[in-house]
Structure 1
Amino acid sequence: MRLAALSILSTVCILHTVPGTSAQFNPFQNGPYKTMHKNFLPWITSGLNHYVDVWAPDTAEPVETPIIYFAGGLGGLMPGELYMNLFAKVASHGITIVQPMMNDPIGNYEGVWMDDVMEWGETHLAKELANAGIGSGLILDHHSLFLMGHSAGGHVAVEYLKHHCGYAKGTILMSPVDGFDPFGLIPIYAITPGEYLNVAIPSLVLAAGLDNVKGIDGAGAIVPACAPNDMSNQRFYDAMPEKSWFVNATYYGHGDNLDDFYADSIEFTHFCAVADKSRDREDYRRHISGMITSFIKFTLGQEDCSVLEYLQDPSLMPVDATVMYKPSAIDSSEDVCQQCDCKWQADPYPHL
């Protein structure tokens, strides 16, 4: 509780130092670019070993885009169809998203398989998108990468970074869940509670307030929540040694960021807790997209420090939310407005 209080205090102090943001940038509305979604099949696409979904800006005007490599729910087993609405919003701001599906649910949890997908992306993706008819202005920046995961896909993203930074500039975790399953039956964990990770990278944790609420009524201890408190969200935030933001959308559930058909299915089956009917899922998707876009634009220096108000001021967000921020634990001289690179070492960073 003391750490959380200190984090909130840090946020409040920072907000007083952030100047006004230009009205030209509004992360909670669609950006200036039309977008294309394309899926690529491994058996008919050169050099590809995974089923891959891609969202990218579709423009004739030159735009250099950073790339998000995303691991979906169930540790990367969920297809891109679930995230169409959300990722089209992100791509409209000049960001490309690549979502491969995992082939081996257990063996691939270390995340190193992402290197094969990244190598394919650097070698083939621009040509494949051009063949699909995307506008000639798209320029893929393969040296500005972000690792992102949803649910147990957050475990995959973190495990990848534990092996090396590569060209990663930041990590974004949507309701991340550690381990292979919420029951904890298979002890595969990315994080050791009480320890920092061995990678220091700017991080954004996007929690849902109902993550820890069981979706199946009356199930008691038989069916756990989709993101139990001890396995999710704060567990990841506490493990990050570099500057990190934690934004909790208070009244939304674990799958409310998905397209309506899939979110409705979760509600119908009671698989996870969901927002009540008074809460608009479209507002939540705008919120998540805005958080992702603001974090990337700031981390790459594409927007100045004023963009942080979208990450740190709940009054600007489309949904009710609480916010925490913690500064770097490895460089006390680093201020919130300072961009920083990913740092990796063999052993966990110590608590100083």
Structure 2
Amino acid sequence: MCVKRQEGRMKLNSLLIILLGEALAFDPFTHGPYRAKHKTYYGLMNQDLDNMIDVWVPDTIDTVDSPIMVMVGGLGGLMPGVAYSTIFERVTSYGFTVVQPFSANLINNYEGVWLDDILSWVELHLRDKLDEEDIGSGVVLNHRNIFLASHSAGGHVVVEYLKHHCGDVKGSIFMSPVDGFDPFGWIDLFAITPGEYLNYESPALVLMAGLDAQKGTSLTPACAPDDLSNTRFYDAFPGTTWFINATEYGHVDGLEQMFVDGVQISHFCAASTDDVPKEVYRSFLGGEIVTFMSHVLGRETCDISKYMEDPSIMPIKTTVMRKTSTLPVQDECMQGHCQWQEDPFPQTRK
């Protein structure tokens, strides 16, 4: 009888261990363990800060190593951070800090170098600002693990920045990226030369919306024309790159609902129909960003790459592509890096 009871307890313990392991398993499409706190800092009220920035930080007293994602929003940096709140809250819930600067200087924005001033201010002042307001006391801002992210024409800004230098960037994320200054491509201001690789090599994630290239009306250009967006970026990256196309969604469907509603009313961009769930899409975008950064930093097991490569486990309809680096990298897992050189990388691939 004692032996049977002991065997029963062992089976119960094994079951509990399995269930606990499943409960703790990485699932980027659910909320992470941390609560996000949002703050806005204004240039006129903060020393050395020329631009307004929105910040999302894990609000915890537990010690958390927090890599930093700097996001350049749509319209080359004119979109405010609050337009992406749901995505940023998901990313922050996994221990990352998000910084989105707002800049109204259209011409200088597209050169990208102004991001150095943002990174400098964040490193010199952000921790003190958070301490003053008793936010995220356990968060250790990791300024040596930087990711650059973007949406729409913000992708041009990120590429231009990295063409100048890599700094501490470990990878980059592009949501429906668009190259150039205007949607018609009339102004000769492009970051990418088709047929050439860029002059930096780094892991990248491209998140396309399937309706990007569709026009909002017959009188307006598409917000992300085929020849200026998405695959234009994918083809230009010499590093390991994941490409995920959310086939049912439009160019701004990942923004907060009030922004989506405004676009649907104005028909500025093509948008998905009302019956296509936008909250699921925002969760998907946040989850893919979390997966990418966690993967290249080795914060989870290497097999989490399946969340970027297997459409069957994604919460929305997608198609995916992936290419490996032109450089002899053994495994992109735990390979966050950025290698810069003066000239474009040669057109060779393993």
Match of 2:310 in 1: 313
Name the CA distance, whole Å, in 2 between partners of 1:308 and 1:44.
Answer: 42
2:257 paired with 1:256: no
Name the CA distance, whole Å, in 2 between partners of 1:314 and 1:23.
Answer: 22
Please give the secondary structure, in 2, of the residue aligned with 1:43. Answer: helix
Name the CA distance, whole Å, in 1 between partners of 2:270 and 2:331.
Answer: 38
Paired residue type of 1:88: E
Tell me if the contact between 1:328 and 1:334 (Cα under 8 Å) persists in the aligned partners: no
Tell me if the contact between 1:21 and 1:306 (Cα under 8 Å) persists in the aligned partners: no
Match of 2:25 in 1: 24
* Deviation of 1:341 (Å): 2.1
Name the CA distance, whole Å, in 2 between partners of 1:21 and 1:298.
Answer: 19
Match of 1:83 in 2: 84
Paired residue type of 1:301: G
2:236 paired with 1:235: no
Change (3 A) 1:111 1:21: farther
Runs (5+) with no aligned partner, structure 2? 1-20
Match of 2:341 in 1: 345
Please give the secondary structure, in 2, of the residue aligned with 1:83. Answer: helix
2:270 paired with 1:273: yes
Please give the secondary structure, in 1, of the residue aligned with 2:113. Answer: coil
Match of 1:291 in 2: 288
Q: Percent identity at matched positions?
A: 51
Please give the secondary structure, in 2, of the residue aligned with 1:160. Answer: helix
Tell me if the contact between 1:327 and 1:335 (Cα under 8 Å) persists in the aligned partners: no
Paired residue type of 1:284: Y
Which has the higher relative contact order, 1 or 2, with Cα contacts under 8 A spaced 6 or more apart? 1
Name the CA distance, whole Å, in 2 between partners of 1:146 and 1:22.
Answer: 28
2:305 paired with 1:304: no
* Deviation of 1:185 (Å): 2.3
Tell me the alpha carbon deviations over residues 137-177 of structure 1, each in whole angstroms, 9 at most, x when there is no partner.
11100000001110000110111111111000000000000
Equivalences, count? 328
Paired residue type of 2:33: P
Tell me if the contact between 2:86 and 2:283 (Cα under 8 Å) persists in the aligned partners: no
Name the CA distance, whole Å, in 2 between partners of 1:178 and 1:299.
Answer: 25
Please give the secondary structure, in 1, of the residue aligned with 2:44. Answer: coil
* Deviation of 1:334 (Å): 2.9
Please give the secondary structure, in 1, of the residue aligned with 2:120. Answer: helix
Name the CA distance, whole Å, in 2 between partners of 1:21 and 1:112.
Answer: 44
* Deviation of 1:135 (Å): 2.8
Please give the secondary structure, in 2, of the residue aligned with 1:192. Answer: coil
1:151-170 equivalences under 5 Å are 151-170=152-171
Match of 1:182 in 2: 183
Q: Say what the alpha-carbon RMSD is for the aligned residues.
A: 1.5
Please give the secondary structure, in 1, of the residue aligned with 2:106. Answer: coil
Match of 2:12 in 1: none
Tell me if the contact between 1:35 and 1:55 (Cα under 8 Å) persists in the aligned partners: yes
Paired residue type of 1:308: S
Match of 1:42 in 2: 43
Name the CA distance, whole Å, in 1 between partners of 2:109 and 2:136.
Answer: 34
Tell me if the contact between 1:245 and 1:311 (Cα under 8 Å) persists in the aligned partners: yes
Name the CA distance, whole Å, in 2 between partners of 1:285 and 1:142.
Answer: 26
Match of 1:150 in 2: 151
Tell me if the contact between 2:35 and 2:58 (Cα under 8 Å) persists in the aligned partners: yes
Match of 2:323 in 1: 326
Tell me if the contact between 1:69 and 1:148 (Cα under 8 Å) persists in the aligned partners: yes
The TM-score with structure 1 as length reference comes to 0.91
